[in-house]
Structure 1
Amino acid sequence: MSTFKNHYTMLYKIAPFLMIIMVTWITSMAIVQLLKFRIKKKIVEAGLTDESLVKAILKDSLGYKERQQNTLKWVFLAGFGGLGLIVQEFIPYNMDESLLPYGVILIFLSVGLLFYYLLNNHLSKNNQDA
C-alpha cells in the first residue's frame, strides 16, 4: 500500500509541471495556426495572384524527408521514454531522497536518440549507395 501512496505523491507533485507544459504547448500551437491563417487572409486580401510568390510565402520549410526523420526521432524518444518509465517502476528506490528515476529516464531517452542517430545514418548511407 505504501508503494501506491508513494506513486500517488509523485504524480501529485509532477502534475502541475505537466499541466504547465501542456498549456504552453497548446497555446503556442494555437498562436501558430492563427498567424498562418492571418497570413493567408492577407494574401487573399492583397490580391496576390503570382503563383510562385504565394508558394514561396506558404511553403513548408521542411521537406518530406525532413518531416519523416523528425517523426522517426519523436517515435524513438516517446518509445524509449515510455520504456524508461516502465523499467523505473520495477527498480526499488527511496522516492524522497533518490534521483534514480530521473537517471533512468535520461538514460533511456539517450539510448533512443542514439538508436535514431544510428538508424538515420544507416538509411542515409543506403540512399546514397542506391
Structure 2
Amino acid sequence: MNRPLLSPEKISPSLLESMAAYHRQTIEEVAAAIAAHRIVVVGMAQNPFVKKARHALEKAGADFRYLEYGSYLSMWKPRLAIKMWSGWPTFPQVFVDGVLIGGYAETVAAVADGRIPLRQE
C-alpha cells in the first residue's frame, strides 16, 4: 500500500520546482551513499535511537556508512527534506542494499533474523 500524496496536478508548477529543489544537495548526498554502500544509517546527533541502531550494527559486525545531519538544535530543514524524500518520519533511517528498512526497532529485528549483511572476514 502506498502512502497517499497530494497529486502533482493539485500543486502549482512553480511550487513543484521549489519542492524539487528543496535541499536537493542533501538528498543527492544520501542517495549517493545508498548507491555506494550496502548499509547506510542516516541520523542526527543526540538522538538515542540513532546511537542504539549504530551500536546494534557495530555489535553485529556490520560495515555501514553513517551520515549525520545536525542535532535537535540544528539542520532541521535538511532532515525534513530527507523525511519528505523517504517517506519515513523519524531517525534513524536505515537502508540495506538500497532499501529503506526503517529505524532502530526494524534494524534490531533485521540483525536478529539475518537480513543485515555482516562483515566478511
What TM-score range do you get, normalising by the shorter chain?
Answer: under 0.3
Q: Relative contact order: is structure 1 or structure 2 higher (C-alpha 8 Å, sep ≥ 6)?
A: 2
Question: Radius of gyration: which is bigger?
Answer: 1
Structure with the larger strand share: 2
Structure with the larger helix share: 1
Question: Normalising by the residue count of structure 2, what TM-score does the alignment of the two structures yield?
Answer: 0.27
Question: Normalising by the residue count of structure 1, what TM-score does the alignment of the two structures yield?
Answer: 0.26
